[in-house]
Structure 1
Amino acid sequence: MNAPNRTTHIRLTSHPEPGNAATRFPIRWGAPTAAERGPIIASTTNPADRNAIGAHGGSYSVYRALAISARAMNPSQRPDLTNTHPTAELPPQPQWFEPGKIVSLDPFGHRVAQDFGGLIGEGVDIRPTIAVTKARLNLPEILAAMGAHRLAADGHILHASGDISVTKIAVDPVWYLPGIAERFETSETELRRTLFEQTGGMYPELVTRPDLKVFLPPIGSITAYIMGEVSAITDPKRRVACRVHDECNGSDVFGSDICTCRPYLTHGIEECVREAQGGGVGLIVYNRKEGRALGEVTKFLVYNARKRQEGGDSAATYFERTECVAGVQDARFQQLMPDVLHWLGVTRIDRLMSMSNMKYDAMVQSGIEIGERVAIPPELIPPDASVEIEAKKAAGYYSPEGAPGDNALKATVGRDLDKF
């Protein structure tokens, strides 16, 4: 049985001490080496070592607290990183050190044991924020593509069973607050205050510790799936196919037909496999931003509002209903999205499986060259998803045939609630 938590004293926050260094492990974001940049320390085993606000694990940090409260986990437990090193080489890229290029993840997050092994051996609790492994994916849509002879097994990338060999990367968010503020064209002070207030005062150090510039927010992570050789991403002679996909549990996992999310995702995977088989590389980036980062409860409320409005679920009022319920049409704000691409060393995407003007603009404005934009094939659009896709085309989504007119939007109406 683990010892109970201390209950005699609670420290609500910390403050910088005049005349003393903020921490014995200062962070120099953008420095040319891991040693010069310094480790990111957000663990709680030794509060004096902390040089970041927040906690490891993103949204799962709360579950860790529950495990400790239930005495199922020792709060002093440190991870044994033996044999956890990446299964593929992901060396430093020029973008890691370009000012302002990467501000929402730790570029050295997968190299903790390699770069800071000495400090870890001395007892400093430094933890990875990125993990790299290998996996196989198996999707019925890929088996269908093989059955239709659109794809064929090669025994290396795509197997006869339909399995796809991939390198799989998990990335927890690590925010450099001055850089985040700059991306969103606000001041660091305003950003810190708003984050503090709008999370119910969850992280007082956002306000009391302006000397701490790094924040590990309690939000979802990113997963990248690479098909083909990882090194091909930075080889200018080899092509890159990519889909950047924002989470949609209802469609991605359960096949809900009110949106195009899963069909577009699996189409992107098929195109990535094809590119990798042709000597290039395929890349899927999966961002945890459920319901346009508004959450699934809000999304389902919007569904009801759309279906019950006068005239039915119309493409003409698609975004209006979201804004009425949520106060904003979309909270994903793709300004941070390109960071993981820069971390991987992406400078050009030859085939981008995305119609989103927001994603495209964010990539191009960050310096990534885009070759071909690939729209979702019409035959993959589910019956009730025409409302979504037509509304998005009218709002600026890429479409080879152009945006629909007002009459076409009004004529595009989804299924009534009594027909589910």
Structure 2
Amino acid sequence: MATEVKVPAMGESISSGILAAWHVKSGDYVEEGQTIYELETDKITSEANAEVSGVITIEVEADEEVEIGQVVATIDESASAGPKSESDGESESGTSASDDSEDKEGGSGEDDNRSDSEEQPNKDGQELAASGGKKVDPEATLSPAARKAAEETGVDVSKLNGSGKDGRVTKDDILKAAEKADSSQKSGDRSQRTDDRGQKSESPAPAPSAPKSGERETRKKMSPLRKKIAEHLVNASQQSAMLTTFNEVDMSAVMKLRKTHQDAFVERHGIKLGFMSFFTKAVTHALKAVPEVNARIEGNEVVSQHYYDIGVAVGTDKGLMVPVVRECDQKDFAQIEKDIIGYAKAARDGKIQMSDLQGGVFTISNGGIYGSMLSTPIINFPQPAILGLHNIQQRAVVIDGEVVARPMMYLALSYDHRLIDGKEAVTFLVKIKEAIEDPARLLFGI
């Protein structure tokens, strides 16, 4: 009996997607629960698992657009796994085990506490198949998803110790290697910047692969996510009366707090105290002080919102995503930091859920991690406003009649002028400035 593999429902607003990559080939024996393909929609990238065990027949090639409910493959449950070949030493159960471990280990891509054994390539494990003793060519055994990850990150797969079957290099191996390379390259000066400037720096996005010799232009189809982002940004500009107001904030107090309590915070909670939790709390504080900003327009009505779900913009290799941290008024700094880290990792690993991206009342975008000094962020419509954070730099400021150097950051608040007047916008931004320059205000709600 053959079971149809259909594209599952992904939410009311999603009707189609791109079948980004197959993790198996036609004729492969797949186990129930094994990851078999990746689906990329205009909001998220998700993985699909086999519902039954059997031999799979692929009916739709990778990179093709598919509709929700469309049959993309069939699995013959009556077929059994083929006999183990002595030449290649591959077993179908090994495929399932490697894929299962790949799913489980994919969540540790940003873990800074990996063992040394993960960081050092194991040539024996990479070059020799576990059963047959034959050398494995990492390039030849890459899955479509892994090959795409290698091209995007520039990682040399020949130097990796594959965690997959018979030393096969998986997508997660490549993502981990790319993160390790970025971390090791920046670790020395990153801690110095954090201490001296209070601004955590991220390594730049990997350079795109070089075009073939003689080509002056290359073309590729826009991904559903990129198309959706483009459409969303244009709609925000066309459907709102957007205006941006600016201010600057002295980061000295927050930087001093972080330096004083960082070790105890890490020991207690297992994560670092970052700037985003301060700004998330400051935004929540400002929304309570200026409730006109915590609203939205629906038709001819103004809908006031009495909850504080804050979106945090996250850059990924597929585009910008804005996961939402829920009930920020009820969470402490550690809970907010953990939520932000978890959502950011899920977004970058392509494991973000639709529910994680819905329902925010306000968005924070931190262009400072890329070195931006000043910008005019576009609101995440239908939200009425967005806060743009920027790079921290030592600048000369006048305090009590004296010129002193202070770590300063420019703040930008873009807002829908149909709903928010200049007075409310400026007051809102000043409330954020006051809370950051005097964090004790967050404790007392003043």
Would you say same fold, with TM above 0.5? no
TM-score category, normalised to shorter length: under 0.3
Which structure dedicates a bigger proportion of its chain to strand?
Answer: 2
Q: TM-score, with normalisation over the residues of structure 2?
A: 0.24
Q: TM-score, with normalisation over the residues of structure 1?
A: 0.25
Larger radius of gyration: 2
